[in-house]
A and B are shown apart, each in its own frame.
Chain A
Amino acid sequence: MPATPQTALVQDSVPKVDDTLAVGEDLGFQRSWWRFERFIWSLFLVILICDVLGLFGRGWLAKARRATPDNALTLDYEHIERASTPSVMTLTFGPAAIQNPGPNGKIQVFVSNSIVKPLGAQRISPQPSVSAVGGSGITYTFAATHAPAVVQIALEPSFPGIHPFRIQLPKEPPIDAKVFVVP
């Protein structure tokens, strides 16, 4: 015996407007939605202004500069970065950073491991003559003649978060800073 198909009466499932047309209009909801839309567009505008200013990286407010007291090392970097987006950290060395200035001069600088892993150091320019690992970081040695000398580290943070790092010259106080990486 064939099964009886289930049936139901066809009825309007939504309220009628003026008892005529079943539309299901909800003006109260719509007015709330328009208020929400105005709020969201204001929020979008604030987000764009923050972006232009650099609050989400790659802008004026994202740039930072730190230096040792005697300006042996000046560090220019972005304290707000974006994940998977390249940036450059610039280390400018003053006269006090160069050991034996002249043809046999050199600069030694320690960078913490966080520069390599979470902040994603891609390359260092110029290439150091010696790299020594240890002490939760890497000590780079560069041949240097006279100040100012500049070294650039290309970064590309791999994941979001707050990543502290340390850069230090021998016999100098360290520069400790943090980079906030946005998604």
Chain B
Amino acid sequence: MPTILHAVAGYFILLLVVRVLKRRAGSQMTLFEFVLIFLMGGIIILSTVGNDRSVTNCTCAVIAVGLLHRSIAWAKSKSPRLGAIIDGTPLVIIRNGEWQPEIMRGMSLRREDIEAAARSSGISQTDDIAWAVLERNGRISCIAKDS
């Protein structure tokens, strides 16, 4: 029982911390962000299983986290507001060829991030970007002016 409670607490603590980090934890990961993911996951597992490292205990913890994740996914599909809270909403970084400084500042984005995304979309110059959108998963989608 304590393991399940610890797993639930750990899930929500990690969810909150990752969510209030800027939106690059899952996508466009650099080595800098890999450190975060592995370190935080490693720390939270210590309090989840405690001294009981039995197969039973670890299986129960995994099942609890899986069930919780599935329940939240179901709740997100029913409530767009909950989906926005957990995953965020897409944000327009370049709107009709114009930078949106509020979004850049608020999401701690650098122009280099958008330029990298543009290159991976086959756009060689920033001037050619009509729209750039920071997606919910952290990816940046770019649409060229002539498309």
State the A residues within 8 Å of B (CB).
17-18, 20-21, 23-27, 29-31, 33-34, 36-37, 40-41, 84, 183
Interface contact A24-B90, CB-CB below 8 Å: yes
Q: Is the CB of B89 within 8 A of A24?
A: yes
* A21 and B131 in contact, given A26-B84, A29-B84, A34-B106 (Cβ under 8 angstroms): yes
A-B contact count (CB 8 A): 41
- B109 interfacial by beta-carbon distance below 8 Å: no
Q: B50, A37: Cβ atoms under 8 Å?
A: no
Q: Are A30 and B95 in contact (CB under 8 A)?
A: no
| Neighbour of B88 across the interface among A27, A33, A183, CB < 8 A | A33
Q: What A residues does B92 contact at CB under 8 A? A: 17, 21, 23, 25
Cβ–Cβ < 8 Å partners of A31 in chain B: 106
The digit string for B15-39, where 1 denotes a CB below 8 A from any CB of A, is 0100010000000000000000000
Q: Taking A40-B16, A40-B20 as contacts, is the C-beta distance between A18 and B96 under 8 angstroms?
A: yes
Pick from A17, A40, A183: contact of B95, CB below 8 A.
A17
Distance between A21 CB and nearest chain B CB, rounded to angstroms? 5
Whole-angstrom CA separation of A31 from B133 in the bound complex: 17
B85-102 interface mask toward A, CB cutoff 8 Å, 1 = contact, 0 = none?
100111110011000000
Q: Could you tell me the distance in whole angstroms from the C-beta of A35 to the nearest C-beta in chain B?
A: 11
| CB <8 Å contact, A29 and B89 | yes
Q: Is the CB of A23 within 8 A of B90?
A: yes
Considering only CB atoms, which chain A residue lies closest to B17 in the complex? Answer: A44
**A21–B106 CA distance with the chains assembled, in angstroms:** 22
* B residues in contact with A25, CB < 8 Å: 89-92
Question: Is B51 part of the binding interface, using a Cβ–Cβ cutoff of 8 Å?
Answer: yes
Whether A37 touches B95, Cβ cut-off 8 Å, given contacts A23-B90, A26-B89, A29-B89, is no
The complex places the Cα of A40 from the Cα of B50 at a distance, in Å, of: 27
- The answer for the CA separation of A33 and B21 in the assembled complex, in Å, is 12
- Shortest distance in angstroms between B69's beta carbon and chain A's nearest beta carbon? 22
A30/B89 in contact, CB under 8 A: yes
Contacting pair B95 A18 (CB below 8 A) = yes
CB distance from B78 to the nearest CB of A (A): 14
A34 to B20, CA, bound (A): 9
- The answer to whether A37 and B20 touch across the interface, beta carbons within 8 angstroms, is yes
Question: How far does the alpha carbon of A183 sit from the alpha carbon of B10 in the complex, in Å?
Answer: 12
Contact partners of B96 in chain A: CB under 8 A: 18, 20
Given A17-B95, A25-B91, 8 other A-B contacts at CB below 8 A?
A21-B133, A21-B143, A25-B89, A30-B88, A30-B91, A30-B103, A30-B106, A34-B106
